Structure 1
Amino acid sequence: MKNFKFTTFITSIMLSLNGYGQNHSAFLDYNNVSAMIMNNGSLFYDIMAGSAGYEVPAGSNNHLIFQGAFWFGGTNENGDLKLAAHAYGEDNDYSIGPYSSTGEYMEPVYFNKYNSGLWWVERIDIINHINNHGQQGYVTPSSIMNWPGNGDTTVGVAHQLAPYVDVDSNGVYEPHLGDYPCINGDKAIYQIMNDDGNHTESGGEEIGAEIHIMAYQYVGTGDVNNTTFIETKVINRGQHSFEDFKATFFLDTDIGFATDDYIGSAPSNNMAYSYNASAYDPGGNGSSGYGANPPAVGVVLLNKNLASIGTYYRTTMGNPSITDPQIASEYWNYMNAKWKDGSDWTQGGIGYGGNNGSTQFLYDGNPNQNTSWSEMNIDGNGTVNPGDDRVLLLTSEEETFQPGEQLMYNYAIVYNNENDHLNNVDNLITTANNIQTFFDTINNYCASNTSLSIDNESELSSFSLYPNPTKDQVHVKWTEINVKSIQIISFQGKTIKSIPVNQSTGVQTIDLGTLSPGVYFVEVGTERQKIIVQ
């Protein structure tokens, strides 16, 4: 017996939130990955236990990432550097909750509303809410009731905060009237921060930024089931203008045992990656170890181009100029393809002090090719770099950033363990391409910055798909809309079949007998938009 599952995806809005408060955490563990999310800007790091928090496979006690965080910075109209960052521990340039234009972070109203800084919701609850709100006996889940769609303007917070579908388009989040959170994926954790407090990490000057992070996962098969997506939005709530604003995704990748790793860059794939230095990962530091043929892990920037991919060395290797940054100018150097001391990254060797010219991408050769620059071949003669504790630094291309504007960055954390430690790098590149196709094809409508209009909502209500789940056939029915195309898309983002549309009937029956059991998307193209159903 074959079973097919479909779930509705809808165009929507994306807005903002940030704050001060106590440390809280939540696990994003809806697929084969278990990822801890902290409300203070730490991704995948258990700050209370001081341990890694990105476990793959979930439940294995093996981790790929110890810590992740974002750095943001730029020079303002006066040439002053403004920068916010986080790395490890309690030092942090970010505060929990949304930006307050009146600075009322310590007011009880603000603290009580935004102290947690984290909200999470599952798509299945949203679908149930759409179908049953207003029905006798239905109780709206707290995850939907407490979604921070609107901010409290009495304490200087912006009126529109986290993304939601506004059914009656009145600008007010009213779940009791049918409004609901707008998320990507099958489960999402939403986080809001600001940089308006003390910068105890970098000592940098405040940007005036509000940061929204949506970490989400899909349940599926193959690559998607091993992937976590991170959508990061930065809103300029301050008064400064920037011409060179950049975002850096900092990741301390620990593939099982922490001190036997390498890093590399694949610029054409917009990906940085880490792999084991040897064919066997022994475990240690609280990790069970991946053993033979350890996996590779990568991070892909999905919606922009990377300006640089690099690292710094957690041990000095005899040179303090290539280690952890301590002050804002050193963070900014790393964000501009320079070492801590301001010297350029260079091609060859370990990337420092070379004579082969500067580079934006460290170790940009494939370790499976013995003629290219990698940590398996740092000099062209097969000399290997000692494996150690590595970090990844992925920096976006610079952009203008004016007061009131927002910038969006979409990332995917990908994983592959199909072969040995080196061939897994090749496999990881294929995985990254598959996930990029998935992202481009499925389209995360919640990334839109425009509200859901009445026309969009009425168009959706004129469309139905049944039965769902189904076995051998599914029916697509529509009224009062002009359907141009119908396609079946795999969870990996590949078009499986295109269905001829019979406009005269308003209903199309799709035979699924040739498909394997699983999750698929039905993409219905109309004159106005695409409606994607899973």
Structure 2
Amino acid sequence: MNRIYTFVICLLTLVTVGNSQNTLEIRNNNLRVFLQSNGALLPDSGIHGFDYEQDGEFIPLIHFTGLWLGARDVNGNLSLAQTQQGGRPGPLNTTPGFDKAWQVDAAEIASHRQDFEDNGVIDNPIPKVFAWPGIGNPHFFDYNGFELPQDFTVGLAPYWDENGDGTYNPEDGDYPVLAIRGCNLPIIPTQMNWTIFTVQEAASHPLEISLNVFYFDCEEMNPLQESIFTYYKITDRADFAAPLPEARWGLFTDGDLGCPIDDYVGTFPERSAAYFYNADNEDEDCIIVQGFGASPPAMGIDIYRGPLDNMAQNLSVSSSITFFNPNFGSFPPGVTDPNTPEQYYNYLQGKWRDGSPLTVGGIGYNGTEPASFAFPGLPEQENGWTEWEAGNGQGDRRVLMNFDAFELFPGAVNEFIAGYTVYRDGEDNLGQAEGLRDQLDVLQAYFDNCLQVNSDIPELPPCTPLMTDISPINKEIKLDIVPNPARGAAFVKTEAAIRRVVIYDATGRSVLSSDSGQIQLASLPTGLYFVHIHTDEGTAVRKLAVE
């Protein structure tokens, strides 16, 4: 217990994170974030991971943000980990020097694809495409200066496999993509930033986490231009450990809207979202921090996907709780920063740090009516419970959005996807929250459309992506899989010559391959799969249900 206690004491302490080999600066218009090779969304200074450019100055939005991971084993022992200050760079079984984050732009991917498509040969190698840490990349050492782990079949950076050979080789026309479970088409954001790191949730359950920070830039004015997305892929690398019967995960955010001591927090439970807004309409300078001035923006955090339950269904956000920096304002000790493992785990359950329930009214402490979500809805609402309506003392807030407990099995692969967005077109601080709510709905609709942002959907604002409007597959290939659903075997029907067929499960793992159109399914459990069919006319993806 002493080891865990020492770890969590420093979890929220203001420390300077050590410099990594490379810290990437990520800019989407006015919004900026940093990514270190250890997975921390922080600059090397260790403060203000997200900020916003106003009149040539960068003003803080978020101090820390990241995942909280807690679990009890079969004996009730509690373990905790977090990602907000990063982990150990590299995969679990890493090679010396594996301490890097990779960045690639859609324009570079487009140039690479055009180079390959004109004659089937790469004449002008693009370093960022050739350096991408895809499985088996034969050029990795030449462009990175250290070796790529060779024992990987899953877990490294995603890519489009042009010839379906299971290896990332840009000379074969392969290129980086964003791959999301359940989406047929690969996604090419304006920019992707990828790293992999390891944290310990329990002594026998090391977690290997890849993080892709990406964004879309549009020619038109669009909410995507004020948004940045994070995609964590979390693999339990335990070998022979027992499952963890009670695992809990949450997304922690310490918001600092300009001056951090005059903020409020709200939640939109039906949207799996939380937001920060200013307690008044003037965000003054304070301490050593520049404020936003009049009509400061609202900042929203929306969770699109969380861990899987035992039925392979995505869990939804089950609670959101706000706690308070005791250095700014007068708050009971039970609602301030946690200091012990049990206090952290209480927050992950949607309780106060002392184990008492969140309740309706005031700051949510010592009431009579239990609640799952703190301060739900817009600030102004008749008979509502919000910080604005309650007249709470303004201050420095943290928010934690949690999922219900689930059983974590060795080898399990989970996705965690969230978006961070800023809204500043409202008339005042309260109007910003209303505009933010509508902006969150637009971004959710884009995610529901698998982030195919250039799709012609009337309900969505137009987005002509800058240098991303390139088709990742040939949609004109005529083929089908029969029968579907299938049991035992399935067949690909097409007039094109089949080069290779690769089947991926719902977690993105390659589970089966064939050099012909006949697919033997006896080894596959019941479920939904994605079949990548590589032909002499191009590549297509189809869904296949196995009974």
Q: Is the TM value for this pair above 0.5?
A: yes
Match of 1:99 in 2: 92
- What letter is aligned with 2:134? G
Matched, 1:37 2:35: yes
- Given the superposition, is the C-alpha separation of residues 226 and 153 from structure 1 closer, same or farther in structure 2, using an over 3 Å criterion? closer
3-state DSSP class of the match of 2:438?
helix
Structure 1 residue 74: Cα displacement: 2.3
Matched, 1:188 2:217: no
- Counterparts of 1:60 and 1:461 in 2: how far apart (Å)? 49
Match of 1:413 in 2: 420
Match of 2:371 in 1: 359
Match of 1:49 in 2: 45
Matched, 1:115 2:96: no
- Counterparts of 1:365 and 1:132 in 2: how far apart (Å)? 50
CA deviations 1:283-315 (Å, max 9, x no partner) are 235543211111111111123521111122111
Structure 1 residue 395: Cα displacement: 1.4
* 1:129 maps to which of 112, 118, 122: 112
Q: What is the aligned-residue RMSD (CA, Å)?
A: 3.0
- What letter is aligned with 1:308? S
3-state DSSP class of the match of 1:275?
strand
Match of 2:401 in 1: 394
Match of 2:170 in 1: 175
- Given the superposition, is the C-alpha separation of residues 444 and 214 from structure 1 closer, same or farther in structure 2, using an over 3 Å criterion? farther
Match of 2:140 in 1: none
- Counterparts of 1:289 and 1:457 in 2: how far apart (Å)? 43
Does structure 1 retain, via aligned residues, the 8 Å contact 2:121–2:171? no
Match of 1:230 in 2: 230
- Given the superposition, is the C-alpha separation of residues 87 and 131 from structure 1 closer, same or farther in structure 2, using an over 3 Å criterion? closer
State how 1:453-492 maps to structure 2 within 5 Å: 459-460=474-475
- Given the superposition, is the C-alpha separation of residues 279 and 191 from structure 1 closer, same or farther in structure 2, using an over 3 Å criterion? same
3-state DSSP class of the match of 1:362?
coil
Does structure 2 retain, via aligned residues, the 8 Å contact 1:83–1:207? no
- Counterparts of 2:472 and 2:45 in 1: how far apart (Å)? 46
- Counterparts of 2:47 and 2:80 in 1: how far apart (Å)? 27
3-state DSSP class of the match of 1:289?
coil
* 2:345 maps to which of 324, 329, 332: 332
Which one is further off, 232-241 or 397-406? 397-406
Listed as ranges, the gaps of 5+ residues in structure 1 are: 1-19, 379-383, 446-455, 464-478, 482-525, 530-534
Structure 1 residue 236: Cα displacement: 1.1
Structure 1 residue 265: Cα displacement: 1.0
Structure 1 residue 389: Cα displacement: 0.9
Matched, 1:372 2:365: no
- Counterparts of 2:45 and 2:19 in 1: how far apart (Å)? 19
* 2:449 maps to which of 434, 441, 447: 441
Does structure 1 retain, via aligned residues, the 8 Å contact 2:115–2:122? no
Does structure 2 retain, via aligned residues, the 8 Å contact 1:368–1:422? yes
Q: Percentage identity across aligned positions?
A: 26
3-state DSSP class of the match of 1:111?
coil
* 2:126 maps to which of 122, 133, 141: 141
Match of 1:68 in 2: 65
Which one is further off, 309-318 or 65-74? 309-318
Match of 2:500 in 1: none
- Counterparts of 2:298 and 2:397 in 1: how far apart (Å)? 13
State how 1:520-531 maps to structure 2 within 5 Å: 528=542
Match of 2:301 in 1: 299
Structure 1 residue 55: Cα displacement: 2.2
3-state DSSP class of the match of 1:51?
coil
Structure 1 residue 157: Cα displacement: 5.7
Structure 1 residue 87: Cα displacement: 4.8
- Counterparts of 2:285 and 2:205 in 1: how far apart (Å)? 41
Structure 1 residue 418: Cα displacement: 1.4
- Given the superposition, is the C-alpha separation of residues 122 and 353 from structure 1 closer, same or farther in structure 2, using an over 3 Å criterion? same
Does structure 2 retain, via aligned residues, the 8 Å contact 1:223–1:434? yes
CA deviations 1:418-464 (Å, max 9, x no partner) are 1210111111110100110111124469xxxxxxxxxx98744759x
Match of 2:81 in 1: 84
Structure 1 residue 177: Cα displacement: 1.9
Which one is further off, 397-406 or 212-221? 397-406
CA deviations 1:306-336 (Å, max 9, x no partner) are 1111122111635333222233322211110
- Given the superposition, is the C-alpha separation of residues 42 and 527 from structure 1 closer, same or farther in structure 2, using an over 3 Å criterion? closer
- What letter is aligned with 1:207? H
Does structure 1 retain, via aligned residues, the 8 Å contact 2:380–2:389? no
Does structure 2 retain, via aligned residues, the 8 Å contact 1:313–1:324? yes
- Counterparts of 2:436 and 2:212 in 1: how far apart (Å)? 24
Does structure 2 retain, via aligned residues, the 8 Å contact 1:95–1:193? yes
CA deviations 1:174-204 (Å, max 9, x no partner) are 11222111134210111211114xx8xxxx7
- Counterparts of 1:401 and 1:82 in 2: how far apart (Å)? 13
Listed as ranges, the gaps of 5+ residues in structure 2 are: 1-17, 137-146, 179-186, 307-315, 454-470, 479-493, 497-539
Structure 1 residue 343: Cα displacement: 1.8
- Counterparts of 2:233 and 2:68 in 1: how far apart (Å)? 12
Match of 2:283 in 1: 281
- So what's the TM-score if we normalise by structure 2? 0.69
- Runs of 4+ that moved beyond 4 A: 134-137, 151-160, 460-463, 526-529
- So what's the TM-score if we normalise by structure 1? 0.71
- Counterparts of 2:383 and 2:21 in 1: how far apart (Å)? 48
Structure 1 residue 137: Cα displacement: 7.7
- Given the superposition, is the C-alpha separation of residues 51 and 209 from structure 1 closer, same or farther in structure 2, using an over 3 Å criterion? closer
Which one is further off, 168-177 or 240-249? 240-249
CA deviations 1:346-389 (Å, max 9, x no partner) are 22121222222x221111242111421111122xxxxx111111
- What letter is aligned with 1:254? D
Matched, 1:321 2:305: no
- Counterparts of 1:205 and 1:350 in 2: how far apart (Å)? 37
- Counterparts of 1:209 and 1:68 in 2: how far apart (Å)? 18
- What letter is aligned with 2:253? L
- Given the superposition, is the C-alpha separation of residues 206 and 261 from structure 1 closer, same or farther in structure 2, using an over 3 Å criterion? farther
- What letter is aligned with 2:434? D
Structure 1 residue 211: Cα displacement: 0.9
- What letter is aligned with 1:144? V
- Counterparts of 1:527 and 1:480 in 2: how far apart (Å)? 16
More RCO (CA 8 Å, sep 6+): 1
- Given the superposition, is the C-alpha separation of residues 39 and 329 from structure 1 closer, same or farther in structure 2, using an over 3 Å criterion? farther
- Counterparts of 1:205 and 1:313 in 2: how far apart (Å)? 31
Match of 2:261 in 1: 259
- Counterparts of 2:149 and 2:433 in 1: how far apart (Å)? 52
- Counterparts of 1:291 and 1:124 in 2: how far apart (Å)? 36
- Counterparts of 1:55 and 1:527 in 2: how far apart (Å)? 39
Match of 2:506 in 1: none
- What letter is aligned with 2:229? F
How many residues align? The count is 413
